[in-house]
Structure 1
């Protein structure tokens, strides 16, 4: 099964949701044979909580609510809740957790250090996944990551950074942390260029749950999958986004 662990439904932090475009995302996801997409919009985005509540509490897409933060849409795609958090110093981490946990966090950009965030999450609910996002992008490095790696579950191999894959692989070996991959899609054009593969013999996609996914990550039973045309798709997505926002 294929899981896109890093998706955005808003093109910009101050963008209001366009529900027709968001619904189109789900068609594109199935076109790319994705089984699960994890909603990881920026926590400090103006309409983040509005989108989170609309999807996972109000069930605006008329899906089957499987549990807190997990919905099966009419086209069988699974939506799992999460967010992207900008830490003090500029690094970003992807948090996969229940909406009830996410909504208790401080929304201010840079409010958390990695240590503080992990400590707070443990007091709220230990059933979460933390992923270090695009570490080799300018300003996104986590200082002393070799000493702090115990606080994260995985390192993202970002499609937009695929030319630096060797650096990410070296870091994975140094920290002992496995890779996951997601598209980091701010537009539907980028959706599917990166995903995390899990053998269905090890994980039943029909019964996706955060706890088992975390166990498979920690046991290094996941593989990143990056499309061969990832860079061109990312470039097209960027151009489309610029035109869309013009």
Structure 2
């Protein structure tokens, strides 16, 4: 099973949810040869719940994932933490929505707050508090792009770091840093945790730049957790990952410019 652990269902979190765009993303994921993806859209993305509701309403449930015309879609989210950094949470849609609801007061970071909100202490959730919340549910919790510049994940306490189920080997980071895989593996090894690949794509061209190949097909979070802990998977990375990610970034910029000019960012047929 070829699975990408870090993907997005929208072009950018500030843009509206588009069913056409999301459908096209899933179609392209299949065409790039993926069997499954973890949809880890930003938890404070505009229309986050609309995105999940669309999947629930239009595709059959298969264990903890959804069968999108042959592509298994596991539900998740990417959560900002107060310390600066992102955490991936993946699970059954009901568990993800339950956690999401409890993060309602943490949808805005300090930079976006007015003075009164700042004085109330409104901000992103602390990493330790997020871990405590996630422990209440059978979800997978991953450290997203933990050594990327601007992220303080690696500086968290050992107690918090040891609670991650996996560390994200991020496609964007690997395209810029030839030593990224070694850096992530070194951090994960301190806590005897698996390293898992994710493209971090927001559009179709980045699919396939990096992914995991599991020995068995999985449809539940429990099965995925078992395979990760047993090490029954391999990571595949394209030799031309830098070119692929750069091309994807150019597409993203072009689509955002298109939205700014005409209010649309959907290309029905890119081929």
Which residue is 2:231 aligned to? Answer: 220
Number of the residue aligned with 2:260: none
SS at match of 2:206: coil
Asked whether the equivalents of residues 133 and 158 of structure 1 are also in contact (C-alpha less than 8 Å), the reply is: yes
Partner of 2:68: 73
Q: Does 1:175 align with 2:191?
A: yes
CA contact (8 A) 1:157 1:224 kept: no
Aligned partner of 2:85 among 83, 87, 91 = 91
C-alpha distance in structure 2 between counterparts of 1:18 and 1:193, whole Å: 24
CA contact (8 A) 1:25 1:191 kept: no
* Aligned partner (choices 170, 174, 195) of residue 158 of structure 1: 170
| 1:134/1:157 contact within 8 Å kept | yes
For the Cα contact (< 8 Å) 1:146–1:174, is it kept in 2? no
After TM superposition, give the deviation of residue 20 of structure 1 in Å: 2.0
> SS at 2:53's partner residue?
helix
1:116 and 2:165 aligned: no
**How far apart in 2 are the matches of 1:84 and 1:137?**
15
Map of 2:26 onto structure 1 = 26
What's the CA shift for 1:99? 2.3
More helix by share: 2
Q: Which moved more, 1:138-147 or 1:80-89?
A: 138-147
Report deviation, 1:198. 0.9
Number of the residue aligned with 2:209:
193
Unaligned runs of 5+ in 2: 109-122, 258-271
CA distances 1:180-216 after superposition (whole Å, capped 9, x unpaired): 011101111111212122112xxxx2x5111111122
What displacement does 1:145 show?
4.9
State which of 136, 147, 155 in structure 2 corresponds to 1:136: 147
CA distance in 2, matches of 1:13, 1:213: 27
CA contact (8 A) 2:212 2:236 kept: yes
Q: How many matched pairs?
A: 233
Deviation track 1:219-245 (CA, whole Å, cap 9, x = no partner) reads 233332222221111111111111111
Q: Which has the larger radius of gyration?
A: 2
Please report how far the alpha carbon of residue 23 of structure 1 lies from its aligned counterpart in structure 2 after TM superposition: 1.5
Q: Secondary structure at the match of 1:103?
A: helix
Distance across 1 between alignment mates of 2:173 and 2:196: 14
**In 2, distance between residues paired with 1:70 and 1:169?**
28
TM-score, scaled to structure 2: 0.80
Counterpart secondary structure, 1:55 = helix
Name the residue aligned to 2:254.
243
2:95–2:139 CA contact under 8 A, matched in 1: no
- 8 Å Cα contact 1:182-1:192 kept in structure 2: no
